[in-house]
Structure 1
Amino acid sequence: MVSSNQRWSFSSIKNIPADFSVSALIVGLIATMVSYAGPLLIVFQAAKAASLSDALLSSWIWAISIGSGVTAIVLSIRYRTPVITAWSTPGAVLLVTSLSVYSYGDAIGAYLFSAVVITLLGVSGLFSTIMRYVPPAITTAMLAGILLSFGVQVFVSMQQLPALALPMMISYLLAKRWSPRYAVVLSLLVGLLTAFLLNRFELAGIQIAIVEPVFTMPAFSLDAIIGLGIPLCIVTMASQNAPGIGVLQADGYDTPTSPLITTTGAASLLLAPFGAHGINLAAITAAICTGKEAHPDPAKRYIAGIACGAFYLVFGMFGATIASVFSAFPKELIAVIAGLALFGSLGSSLASAMSEATQRESALITFLVTISGITIGGIGSAFWGLVAGVITNALLAGDVRRWLGRNRRQPS
């Protein structure tokens, strides 16, 4: 277990040059690429559905990028842990169908409400208390379920564009044999070169422009708070923050939960008037940065968190432009490099989830429910996998009987 309890000090900043590595820098870049090449496109869909202007869309992208960048850098340095933050992807999915129902001012008010609730959950320590009742085997099984589709997409891409995917895979395996630390880096370089030779880059229409953030005065509507604010809070906590904690735990980091939730909640609160629907802990992109691909020494992987945050800041300044840049890459390149970068985390998560014989059944059910993709009440399968695993563990371990026994002994 990697200790993350050291206090903030100037010495922790001074150590950054000594701990710097090219592999951590590249892994941070890959994590940022995955964020912009996939989840950001959902933001575009939501903005289009709500008929937002280009200025509001650019401000939205600026706000979530700056919030993610600053929190990732601050938290990674503070805890010397690769704490990767991002915008709420399930929250953006929710907005695709919900944002057009309310005025933009009411939506901003709902964002503020969600941010306040999340911040209070962090400050109070309630979320940490809840997570203590979830066995590590269940959180790692949930993480494995989330990551599985990314690993599968590597081989799906081989069928779709073998001329690109196969060289990337072969270079990855060869590097794993001779220089495992740079396997993902080499695969990315081979992928970029191959895509260029195959003429698979679509660069037409890319325009570079600096964002001018737009402040929107929030309005508070009970309908928007109930219909948007509460669901946004729930999906962010259940589908982003809970798996995000699971990622850190799976790779051996004992980072305290409450400060992470509080910091991301506060960032969401400050940036909501500029369009940020929610800043939270990342799961998929975090798993890219917390594994051995970033650095063999877990204590030096925090550089990947700093690098990811720095790229967020740079890319965020160009708002909507950056999404068009990444959309110019072949989708197979993004799929393969994301999957390869997550191989290590997927393997370790599966091994950890099944290592405890007494919790193997609970972990298996968590894994299966998570990969099922079911959605109930707008909440994704990661949360329901967590719920199913906890219930299964309680039934099999006899915790329910002990809990009922305690309740019967309590005076009425």
Structure 2
Amino acid sequence: MSDRYAPDVQEERRAAIVAGLVTAAVGFTSSFAVVLAGLDAVGASASQAASGLLILCVTQGLGTILLALRYRVPVTLAWSTPGAALLATTGMVDGGWPAAVGAFLVVGLLVVATAAIKQLADLVRAIPTSIAQAMLAGVLVPLCLAPVTATAERPLLLAPVVLTWLLLAALAPRWASPAALVVALTLAVLAGDDRSGAVWPGLAWTMPTFSIGAVVGLAVPLYLVTMAAQNVPGAAVLTSFGYRPPWRAAMLVTGVGTIGGAPAGGHAINLAAISAALSASPEAGPDPSKRWVAAVTTGTTYVVIAPLAALLTAVVVAAPPGLVAAAAGLALLTTLAGSLRAALTAADRAEPAIVTFLVAASGISVWGIGAAFWALVAGVIAHLVLRRTVRAR
């Protein structure tokens, strides 16, 4: 290549690397607190939650590097943020933390099966999008209320977090959630106390167990929300930028990664959805065929920052009650808005989506099975009955 093209090539590569760094920074900082909250809710200790965050960084990082190098497509992986929100609202399942780990393992097996069995993928697609999104919205409501309740209880402590988020939401939306979380962590260090003890970096392995309540009430909704809110939109984002997503390969890699990470506390990895656009857009360089470098940079960055999991977990655990949860809730507001929009603007009647949303938001537990599963059941039943009624007319 002649010298006159070298500066353009270098600039293009620099743009891809910067885009990859931004993708990892935004993806990690905007939602790691949600992951820790979810793992804590289903029974993980501080060291087990730190292990889960660490293994998620490693598996999604290595998976991203593998897919990007193999297919030369800017495909990026991420942990399931909606799935972590589901864990946070589901709470302890029958069998405790080992049963939750077993549920994570089942999710990985189901994702691998999705890659191998067309009928399973078709069955997932048969669930109306409005119902899947309404279930996600209902799951997110309790977490998105955290900024409201925490601010009411500790207005002086939470004011800097909320104001930071509001200001950057107007000026630089991409950085609003990360910045709010950074402010929350800073306040946590200044105002927190050492209630957690030491949290050492490393993997804490748990032998999985299996219970009906955990499989039906946690694994099935976690699989469905990961597919509907992450994998399908993630593939759509890549398609919108002119790429052909390696769907089956991505399902196989994320499924195997979830299986491998489950004993260390990783709940699920999947195609990135919101942050996927950062590495696939022209911001990652003018030549679409070279943007895979951004994805490789993203994956590498995730692996490099994985050891921070223990430190961040210690800060979160020692923070004043509600502080980090409020920042996490602010980070989920955009996801909640998108889910409500998708649930209520679909061509189907709105009643099934409303039923699904209310049941999911209720937090009920019947026979040891959480609200997310019953929300899907109620929504599908309402959908089928109302559709049949309309046809009968």
Q: TM-score normalized by structure 1?
A: 0.67
Tell me how far apart the structure 2 counterparts of residues 14 and 202 of structure 1 sit (CA, whole Å): 42
Superposed CA deviations along residues 330-385 of structure 1, whole A, max 9, x for unmatched, are 34231221121122221122122111353211111111111111223433222222
Which residue of structure 2 lines up, in the alignment, with residue 104 of structure 1? none
Which residue of structure 2 lines up, in the alignment, with residue 336 of structure 1? 326
Tell me how far apart the structure 2 counterparts of residues 112 and 185 of structure 1 sit (CA, whole Å): 30
- Cα displacement (A) at 1:242: 0.9
Q: Does 1:187 align with 2:180?
A: yes
Which residue of structure 1 lines up, in the alignment, with residue 368 of structure 2? 378
Q: Does 1:34 align with 2:24?
A: no
Q: 1:58 to 1:133 in 2, by over 3 A?
A: closer
- Cα displacement (A) at 1:139: 1.7
Q: Are the equivalent residues in 1 in contact too, given 2:109–2:255 (CA < 8 A)? A: yes
Letter in 2 for 1:200: A
Which residue of structure 1 lines up, in the alignment, with residue 342 of structure 2? 352
Tell me how far apart the structure 1 counterparts of residues 368 and 296 of structure 2 sit (CA, whole Å): 33
- Cα displacement (A) at 1:155: 0.5
Letter in 1 for 2:193: E
Q: Does 1:245 align with 2:212?
A: no
Matched residue of 1:358: which SS? coil
Q: Are the equivalent residues in 2 in contact too, given 1:46–1:92 (CA < 8 A)? A: no
Q: Are the equivalent residues in 1 in contact too, given 2:64–2:298 (CA < 8 A)? A: yes
- Cα displacement (A) at 1:261: 4.5
Greater shift after overlay, 146-155 or 59-68?
59-68
Letter in 2 for 1:136: T
CA RMSD of aligned residues (A): 4.8
Q: Are the equivalent residues in 2 in contact too, given 1:173–1:183 (CA < 8 A)? A: yes
Q: 1:366 to 1:213 in 2, by over 3 A?
A: closer
Tell me how far apart the structure 1 counterparts of residues 339 and 203 of structure 2 sit (CA, whole Å): 42
Letter in 2 for 1:155: V
Q: 1:245 to 1:298 in 2, by over 3 A?
A: farther
Tell me how far apart the structure 2 counterparts of residues 147 and 141 of structure 1 sit (CA, whole Å): 10
Q: Does 1:152 align with 2:151?
A: no
Q: Does 1:131 align with 2:124?
A: yes
1:11-22 correspondence to structure 2 within 5 Å: 16-17=16-17, 19-20=19-20, 22=22
Letter in 1 for 2:26: I
Q: Does 1:391 align with 2:381?
A: yes
Which residue of structure 2 lines up, in the alignment, with residue 280 of structure 1? 268
Tell me how far apart the structure 1 counterparts of residues 347 and 315 of structure 2 sit (CA, whole Å): 47
Q: 1:26 to 1:319 in 2, by over 3 A?
A: closer
Tell me how far apart the structure 2 counterparts of residues 133 and 270 of structure 1 sit (CA, whole Å): 29
Greater shift after overlay, 310-319 or 378-387?
310-319
Q: Does 1:172 align with 2:165?
A: yes
- Cα displacement (A) at 1:308: 8.4
Tell me how far apart the structure 2 counterparts of residues 160 and 14 of structure 1 sit (CA, whole Å): 46
Tell me how far apart the structure 2 counterparts of residues 160 and 246 of structure 1 sit (CA, whole Å): 35
Matched residue of 2:268: which SS? strand
1:254-273 correspondence to structure 2 within 5 Å: 259-270=249-260
- Cα displacement (A) at 1:184: 2.4
Aligned length: 360
Q: Are the equivalent residues in 2 in contact too, given 1:62–1:316 (CA < 8 A)? A: yes
Q: Are the equivalent residues in 2 in contact too, given 1:29–1:308 (CA < 8 A)? A: no
Q: Are the equivalent residues in 2 in contact too, given 1:239–1:380 (CA < 8 A)? A: no
Matched residue of 1:211: which SS? coil
Q: Are the equivalent residues in 2 in contact too, given 1:29–1:307 (CA < 8 A)? A: no
Letter in 1 for 2:346: E
Matched residue of 2:32: which SS? helix
Q: Are the equivalent residues in 1 in contact too, given 2:16–2:279 (CA < 8 A)? A: no
- Cα displacement (A) at 1:396: 1.6
Tell me how far apart the structure 1 counterparts of residues 178 and 44 of structure 2 sit (CA, whole Å): 33
Q: 1:150 to 1:310 in 2, by over 3 A?
A: farther
- Cα displacement (A) at 1:133: 1.0
Q: Does 1:201 align with 2:192?
A: yes
Q: 1:342 to 1:115 in 2, by over 3 A?
A: closer
Q: TM-score normalized by structure 2?
A: 0.69
- Cα displacement (A) at 1:329: 2.7
Q: 1:232 to 1:119 in 2, by over 3 A?
A: farther
Q: 1:121 to 1:313 in 2, by over 3 A?
A: same
Q: Are the equivalent residues in 1 in contact too, given 2:17–2:297 (CA < 8 A)? A: no
Q: 1:166 to 1:302 in 2, by over 3 A?
A: farther
Matched residue of 1:374: which SS? coil
Residue 78 of structure 2 is aligned with which of 78, 84, 97? 84
Q: Are the equivalent residues in 1 in contact too, given 2:111–2:223 (CA < 8 A)? A: no
Q: Are the equivalent residues in 1 in contact too, given 2:195–2:317 (CA < 8 A)? A: no
Q: 1:212 to 1:22 in 2, by over 3 A?
A: closer
Q: Are the equivalent residues in 1 in contact too, given 2:217–2:370 (CA < 8 A)? A: yes
Residue 368 of structure 1 is aligned with which of 355, 358, 364? 358
Tell me how far apart the structure 1 counterparts of residues 283 and 386 of structure 2 sit (CA, whole Å): 37
Q: 1:32 to 1:188 in 2, by over 3 A?
A: closer
1:212-231 correspondence to structure 2 within 5 Å: 228=210
Identity %, equivalent residues: 25
- Consecutive unaligned residues in structure 1, runs of 5 or more: 1-11, 49-53, 101-106, 219-223, 403-412
Tell me how far apart the structure 2 counterparts of residues 298 and 382 of structure 1 sit (CA, whole Å): 38
Q: Are the equivalent residues in 2 in contact too, given 1:21–1:303 (CA < 8 A)? A: no
Tell me how far apart the structure 2 counterparts of residues 152 and 27 of structure 1 sit (CA, whole Å): 22
Q: 1:94 to 1:68 in 2, by over 3 A?
A: farther
Tell me how far apart the structure 1 counterparts of residues 103 and 171 of structure 2 sit (CA, whole Å): 52
